[in-house]
Structure 1
C-alpha cells in the first residue's frame, strides 16, 4: 500500500462515517499521511481527526475513535492507535508494506509520476544569458536547475515549454561586435568591451568565414562582426548546453520582437488596458499601480525603445503562445526585476500571483585546495560552463547545482565532488544504484532469477521497513518538488533513500553465500533491491544525472 492509497483509505473512512451519520462533515479533498519520526508511533500518522473536529462539533479524540474503528477493518491495516489530542497512528501488516516493492518494479520508469499539475501549461525560461560570451557559473546553475525543474514538472502532469531568451538586440551586442572587430584588426579591445581568448577565437572564425571582411569600410565590418559573431556565439552556447544535457524547445530572439512590430503592438494592448500614459514626450507604463517602486519608460522622448518595452512584448508573446504560467529564472543580481515583471502581467490584465512566477538564484562558489577559484583563461574573468564540466564532470555538476534551494549560495568543493567517498553526495547516491546493479549481476551469475511467487510479508525487519517507507515517499516528494518549483527536494530524497538502502544492504543478506539455499526471503529481497534501483534511477533521471551500473 502506497501513502497515496492509504490517504484514499482514510478519506473513504471519513466518507463512510459521514454516510452512517457518525460524523457531520464534508469529506476533505486530500488527507495527509506521513511517516512519523519515531517508528514506535506506527508506519504512518495523520491529523485528519484534528482537522475535522471543529466542523463535526466533536472533540478530536472522539472523531479519532470513530475513524480508528473503521480503519481497523481495512485489509492490510494491522493496528490503529490514537495519540495525543487525536493523532491517528497507523501500522500496516508486513505483506501490505512489502507489496510496494512489486508495485514499483512493475511500474518501472513510471513510478513516482503523478498528475498533481495535470493540464497546467507552463513556459519555463532559464539561463537566457546575453549571447556575448560563454555561459558563466550562475548560468550553469540555472541550466541544471531549470532543466531538472522542467523534467519534474512534466513528471507531475504539467505541459512544459522550455525557452532561452536571446538578448540579441541593444548596446551589449554592439559592444560585442566592436570587441570582435578590434581583435580581428589587432587593435586594443574598447575599454567597456569584452575580453578573453574566446573573443580572439570568434574574431578569427569570422575573418576566415567571410574573406575580405577586414577590407570593408568600418561600419560594414562592424555589421559583419555583429551578425556572424552572434551566430557563432549562439552556436557555442547551444553546444555547451547540449553537452550539459540541456535542450530548449525554443530559442527566442529579442530582435524578432522589434522587427515584427510586436513591441509596438504590445504597447497598444497595454494602453487599451488603461495603464499606458504619456509624459514629457515619453511613453510610460504605470507599474506603480501594482507594487513596482516607480513607473517604467516604454519609449524614450527621442523615440528609442527601452529594454522594458521588449520585456512587456515578450511576456505577451508567451501568453499568446498558450502559456498559462510564465516562469522566469533570473540571476542573483536581478531582484529588481521581480516587481516590474509581475507588474507587466497585472497591467496586461493577468493575475500577477498566478500567471507569472519569478525565481531568483543565488551565487555559486567553486573551491579547490580550500581556495576559491575565480578565473577562466578562456573567458577572462569568469568561470564558464566548460570549466565546470572539465573540473567535475556533467553528473557531479548537475547534481551539486540542483542539490540545494536556489535561495541559498552554493559552495562546491572540487576535491570533494571528485572523490569516491561517502562525503561526495553524487557518488553516494550513484554508488547505491551501482551496488544494486551488482546484486542483480551476481544473482544472474548464480542462476537466481527473481521469483514471481513473491512473499512480501517476509520483508519485516526494521531495515526493510525503513527502506519500504522511503520508497513510498517518492511520488509525494516529486509532487511537492513540482508544486513548489524546487527540484532540490528530489536530491534530498535520493540521499535519504541511498542511506536507507546502504543500511539495508549492510544488515540484510540478499544473496546466499557458498552452498546456502535460495529461499523465499532471497527472492523477496531481490524484489526490494530492484524496487530501490528503479526508484533511484527515476530520481536521478529527473535531475539529468546518470544511474551507472558499475563504478
Structure 2
C-alpha cells in the first residue's frame, strides 16, 4: 500500500464517519495527507486529519480521531490505529498490505511513480538559451541539467510539456561576434568589446573553409558572411554539446524569426489594444508600472529600433498563441531584475502573471579542484564550458551533481568528490545500488531463483524491520515525484534516491536474498527477490528523471 493509497483510505473513512454522524461533508478536504513518523515506534504512517477537521465539524479532535480509528480498523490492509496526543492517528499496516507494494512496483515498471497531478496543463519550458556567441558556459550547464530533469518530472506528473531553446540570433551581441570572427580571420586582435578565446579562431577558420572568398569581399559583405555562417556553426556546436549531454529540445526558436514575421508589430498592437502603450520622447513605451514594475519599459526607441524587451513581449505572446497555458522560463542569477518586468508584461497582455508565467532563477555554480575554483577553459578563456565540465566529471556525475541541489542555492562542486568511486560520491552511492540489485538478480538466476508468477508472490513474508523500512521508502516515490514537479525542484528526487540507497544497503546487509551453498530456495527468497527488483525499478526510474543511467555493473 502506497502513501497515496493509504491517504485515500483515510479520506474514505472520514467520509463514512461524517455520513454516519450527520456532519457537514463540505468540511472534508479533497485529499488527505499521511506521513512517515520520525519515530518508527509510532507506527508506519501518521495522519493529522482529525486535528484539521475537528473544529470545522464541531467535534473534539480526539473524539473524531477515535471514530476515524474505529472506521480505519475495519479497512483491509490496516493492522491497527492508535490515537496519540490531542488527535494524531498512528497507523500500522499489516505485512501483506505493506509487502504487496514490491509486486506492484515491478509490474508497473517504468510507469511507477507517474501521476496525474498536473494533467491538463500545457507548459512551455524554456531553459539554457545561451547566446550563440560562444560555447555553453557553466551557468548554462546547470540549467541544462536542471531544466531537462524538470521537463521529465513535469511529464511524469501528467503535464504536456514543450521544451524550448531561444536562439538570440539578432542584436548587438551578434554584431560583436561577427566582428570578432572577422578580426581573427585577418590575424588581428578582437575588438575591445568583442569575444576572445580559442574557439573564436576555430570558428573563424571554419567560416573561411565554408566560404573561402569571405575575406575578399568588402567589409560589409564579409561581416555578413562571418555573422551568418559563424552563428550557424556556433549554434550547431551548442546543439551537439547539449545532445551529448543528453539534452534535446522540442523547439529551437530563432529571435530573428520574430522580426522577420512581424511578430513584434503584432505584440505591440495587442498591447495597444489592452491600453498600456504610450508615446514619450519620440519612443514607444509599455506602462508596466501599472502592474508593479519599478519603471516603464521602452518597446521601440526613438531611432525606430526595437528593444530586447519588445522581443521578449513578442516571444511570450508567440508561446501563448501556440496554446501553452503556462510559460516557464529558467534564468541565471544575473537576471533577477527581469522578474518584475516580465510579470508586468504578462499582465499588460491581459494574462494572470501568477498563472500564465513562471520565472525560475538559478544561482551560480563553481567547479573546484583542491579547494580552488577551476576558472580557465581550454577554449573559452576565462569561463568553464559544458565540454570542460563533462571532461572533468563525466555526463552522469555532472547531471546528478547539478540537479542534486536547489537551484536557488549557489554550489561548489569538488572534482575529487564527484569522480571518486566510493560512498562519499552521491551519484556513485545511488548507481551502486542499481548495479548491486542487478547483480543480485543475476546471482539469483544462476541458482534457479526467479520471481515466478505474480500470483505466487507472498507479501506477508516480508516482515523484517529492514524490509519494512525499504518498502516504506519505495512507497514514497510517487509522492516525491508529484511534489518535486509541483515545486519545480528536481533535487528532491536525488535526495530521495540517496535515502532509498541507504535503506537498500541496510536491507542487503540483514536480509539474505539468494540462498548460499546447499540452502533451499524458499518462498521468502522469492519475496525478497521481488523486493530487490522493485528497488532497482525505483532507482532506475528516479535516475531516469534526472537523465542519469542506472548501470547493471560497476
Q: State whether TM-score is above 0.5.
A: yes
Distance 1:168 1:336 in 2: 23
Matches within 5 A, 1:366-405: 366-405=367-406
Distance 2:76 2:188 in 1: 81
Distance 1:393 1:399 in 2: 10
* 1:373 positional shift: 0.5
SS of 2:133's equivalent in the other structure is coil
* 1:461 positional shift: 1.1
SS of 2:34's equivalent in the other structure is coil
Please list the CA deviations of residues 272-292 of structure 1 after superposition, one character each: whole Å capped at 9, or x if unmatched: 101111111110001111111
| Contact 1:17–1:66 (Cα < 8 Å) also in 2 | yes
Alignment-derived partner of residue 480 in structure 1: 483
Please list the CA deviations of residues 399-451 of structure 1 after superposition, one character each: whole Å capped at 9, or x if unmatched: 00000100101111101111111000000000011000000011111121113
SS of 1:353's equivalent in the other structure is helix
Alignment-derived partner of residue 516 in structure 2: 513
Alignment-derived partner of residue 550 in structure 1: 553
Alignment-derived partner of residue 2 in structure 1: 2
| Contact 1:183–1:200 (Cα < 8 Å) also in 2 | yes
* 1:22 positional shift: 5.2
Over aligned residue pairs, what C-alpha RMSD do you find?
A: 0.8
| Contact 1:312–1:344 (Cα < 8 Å) also in 2 | yes
| Contact 1:25–1:52 (Cα < 8 Å) also in 2 | no
Please list the CA deviations of residues 205-240 of structure 1 after superposition, one character each: whole Å capped at 9, or x if unmatched: 111111211111111100000000000001000000
Indicate yes or no: 2:504 matched with 1:532. Answer: no
Alignment-derived partner of residue 18 in structure 1: 18
Distance 1:367 1:170 in 2: 34
Distance 2:177 2:96 in 1: 66
Matches within 5 A, 1:65-464: 65-452=66-453, 453-464=456-467
* 1:24 positional shift: 3.2
Alignment-derived partner of residue 501 in structure 2: 498
| Contact 1:25–1:55 (Cα < 8 Å) also in 2 | no
* 1:72 positional shift: 0.4
Distance 1:128 1:162 in 2: 11
* 1:3 positional shift: 1.1
SS of 1:189's equivalent in the other structure is coil
Distance 2:550 2:290 in 1: 50
Distance 2:208 2:366 in 1: 37
Question: For structure 1, which segment, 339-348 or 363-372, has the greater mean C-alpha deviation from structure 2 after superposition?
Answer: 363-372
TM-score after normalising by structure 1: 0.99
* 1:379 positional shift: 0.7
* 1:353 positional shift: 0.8
* 1:370 positional shift: 2.2
| Contact 1:168–1:254 (Cα < 8 Å) also in 2 | yes
Distance 1:337 1:345 in 2: 12
SS of 1:91's equivalent in the other structure is strand
| Contact 1:136–1:384 (Cα < 8 Å) also in 2 | yes
* 1:369 positional shift: 2.0
Please list the CA deviations of residues 226-265 of structure 1 after superposition, one character each: whole Å capped at 9, or x if unmatched: 0000000010000001000000011001111111110011
Number of aligned residue pairs: give it. 551
SS of 1:283's equivalent in the other structure is strand
TM-score after normalising by structure 2: 0.99
Please list the CA deviations of residues 469-528 of structure 1 after superposition, one character each: whole Å capped at 9, or x if unmatched: 000000000000111111111111101000100111111111111111111111110000
| Contact 1:364–1:409 (Cα < 8 Å) also in 2 | yes
SS of 1:186's equivalent in the other structure is coil
| Contact 1:292–1:339 (Cα < 8 Å) also in 2 | yes
| Contact 2:19–2:25 (Cα < 8 Å) also in 1 | no
Distance 1:301 1:123 in 2: 33
Distance 2:5 2:305 in 1: 60
Distance 1:22 1:36 in 2: 31
| Contact 2:332–2:361 (Cα < 8 Å) also in 1 | yes
Please list the CA deviations of residues 325-377 of structure 1 after superposition, one character each: whole Å capped at 9, or x if unmatched: 00010001000101111111000000011100000000001111221101102
